[in-house]
Every structure is written in structure tokens, then in C-alpha cells.
Amino acid sequence: MVIVMTPTATPEDIEAIVGLVGAAGGEAFVSRGVSRTIIGLIGDVERFAALNLGGQRGVAEVMRVSTPYKLVSRENHPERSTVRVGGVPIGPETVTLIAGPCAVETPQQTLAAAEMAKAAGATLLRGGAFKPRTSPYAFQGLGEAGLRILADVREQTGLPIVTEVVDAHDVPLVASYADMLQVGTRNTQNFALLQAVGKAGKPVMLKRGMSGTIDEWLMSAEYIAQRGNLDIVLCERGIRTFETATRNTLDVSAVPVAQRLSHLPVIIDPSHSGGRRDLVLPLTRAALAVGADGVIIDVHPHPEQALCDGPQALVTEDLPALAQTMQTFSPLMNRTLVSQTLCQSARPPQSLV
């Protein structure tokens, strides 16, 4: 069961609902969105029905939800959501470019990649300080030193940070630096991590598991939402199939399907799906044409020297074509391309770490 509160509902109204549900032997999980609050209930539905929840102050609607992902479903939130990251919108009316190095390697490399991203029109900076790798001998990231580099680069460029967290224990540390927490494909069903990022108070980018179904992806998002965080962006990054010509198989159909089932924004990662520089721009065009709310792209000043995923990173010569693609396709989809100028007035002051 889900309770949708009115936009004018007060904290006292919400606490009253939580208290009623608790007294009836149930659990209430509060998720606060941009304009209203949703309360998901777990317990005996018949006992809840006797509480006259619909008549309580501040309640707009009480619904029984058939889907297992109650809070992220469009059944109780028919309008699609916009998530703001440091003032940058990701949602149904806009197209957002997120770009940067796959991994933070040095201050010089990260700043150069951030300047490349900004030159292409990116309004959010991606960069990995913690890197979950298949091989234990591969570069695992710089850890907190990488987070400090990202924070310094944010100060110099003004680009809010999107960075991955790989362990529930590290969530408070990463959240103290990042503007958005990323959960990667290998951790999509790391439920302790999902719950931890749900409580961190920062927007979350949730990548689809490499072998995960869309329902499993949305159930993972539900873990985050159940801990009080509805600021979730879904990221389709390609799935594992029998095909070996590309690193992964980009499932463009996942975008409209996920947008139909969930109110959350959905973006595409054309870098990790194709795994090759020459595929990034064609897949970006496909992402925008199918209705993705944004793309997240690897760029690197010297990909031949990259410690992680160099073959898929765009270089300086690719940036004009990327910028042109974003500028051309956004209006064709009746969307506004998010620009750095557009974000300036909405962006809160940067916190120094």
C-alpha cells in the first residue's frame, strides 16, 4: 500500500501517518520527492484499511499497488520525475550530458578531462575514485585521494561530481565529496550498499546489472527509495549477451520500457555499452532518439595512457561532433539541452571539502 501526501502536508502530518501505521503493527517508509512525499507501507493491508488513512490530514490518496516496486512505480506517481544534481536537472523535459574520465588518475589528467567535458557541453563531471574491477590486479582507483582531486576540479570548473561508491562502509566518505553517488553494474544487487546510499541524502545513479532484467533493476531502485530517497536516476549501460563484437549489448528498448514502468529519469552510457571510441557517437544518437533523459560519456586527454577503459574514451577531436549531436538531437525530441548557463542560477554554492 502507498500513501501519497499533498504538496502542503507538514512534517507533523507525515509523522502522524507513520505513528498510526506503526501502532497497527506495520512499517512506513517515507520518500520525499521534489513536490510531494510518498509513504510506502509494509504489513497487513486489511488492518491498514481500518485506520481510515485517506481521511487523515495531509493525505491526497491511498492506493494498493500491484507492482512489487511501489515507490518508483508510475502507478502511484504518474508524472515523470526530475532529479537535480547540484542544480543540474535530469528529467523528461531536458537532455543532460555527463562526461569525464572513467577513472581519476592524476590531478592534471582529471582537470584536462573535465575541461574537455565542459567544452563538449557537459554540466556534470563523472570520474571514478573507487573502481570495482574484474581482475584484482587491475587499477582499483585512488580512493579518498581521488575524491580530493575531484573536489579540487569541481572548484576549478564548477561541474558537480558524479562518482561511484562500491562499499556500504564508504558511503559517508564518498557522500561528503560527491554531488551524486553512482552504483555500478556489479553492485546493482548489493542490497546493503543500496540501502546505505538510500540513507545518504544525495542523488543516486543506479546502473543496470549486466545480466539484470528491467524488473530487477527497478527492484534495486526500490531498495534506495525505501530508505527515503527518491532522487534516483536509472542508467542503461548495456547487458551481457552472446555477442562479442561489442563490449556489451546496448538495450535501447530499456529506456521507453523503464520510463513506462517508473517515474524515474533514465539515461544511457554509450561508452561502457559499446566499449569502443568509434561506437560512442552513434550510440549517443540512438540514446537521444529513443528518448533517454541524458548520456554519460568517457573522455580522456590521453586514452592510450589511461589506467582504465582507454579504448572507449573520446578525445579532443571528438568533442565538436559530440556537442553537435547533443545540440541537434535535443530539439528534435522536444527537449532542452541542459547548458552551463542554464544551471548557474539554480546551482547552490559549492561546499568545500
**pLDDT tens for residues 25-59?**
999 989 887 677 889 888 887 788 888 899 999 99
Q: What is the dihedral of CA 98, 103, 109, 114, to 10 degrees?
A: 10
Q: Among residues 131, 139, 202, 136, which one has the least CA distance to residue 167? A: 131
Report pLDDT digits (tens) over 287-326: 999 999 999 999 999 999 999 889 999 999 999 999 999 9
Looking at the chain, the whole-number percentage of residues with pLDDT higher than 90 is 78
Rounded distance, CA 204 to CA 231, Å?
Answer: 6
State yes or no: pLDDT of 348 exceeds 80. Answer: no
Q: Which residues pair with 328 in a beta bridge?
A: none
Q: Same topology for domains 2-63 and 83-344, yes or no?
A: no
Burial label, 348 (beta-carbon count in 10 A; 0-12, 13-18, 19+) = exposed
Architecture of domain 2-63: 2-Layer Sandwich (3.30)
Task: Write down the domain spans for the chain.
Answer: 2-63, 83-344
Looking at the chain, the whole-number percentage of residues with pLDDT higher than 70 is 95
This prediction's pTM: 0.84
CATH of domain 83-344: 3.20.20.70
